[in-house]
Amino acid sequence: MQAWRQGAWNQRPEWLSPGQAMLNMADAIGAGERQNMDTSKWKAFLRKSADFHARRMLSPDWQPESSTKAFFLLRP
């Protein structure tokens, strides 16, 4: 774990929007299920994340600080 923190990721992090992060998680769930993996914890995490961000974004006083926090990803 220490090597990970000192590697390239620590030097140049790639910031994702909540939508991008949740899309990546959904893709991981699909890939895991195709491999017959137990993805129940991943699904619970994604559900919790989606609920959190939906409550935040639907709040009447929500003011995003940047477009990174304001856009939603739609995939066919």
- Cα separation, 31 vs 10, whole angstroms: 27
Query: Could you report the per-residue pLDDT of 5-48, keeping only the tens digit for each?
Result: 555 556 666 667 778 888 899 999 999 999 999 999 999 999 99
Distance of alpha carbon 42 from the chain centroid: 11
SS3 60: coil
pTM above 0.85, yes or no: no
Indicate the pLDDT class of residue 54, thresholds 50, 70 and 90: confident
- Cα separation, 76 vs 60, whole angstroms: 29
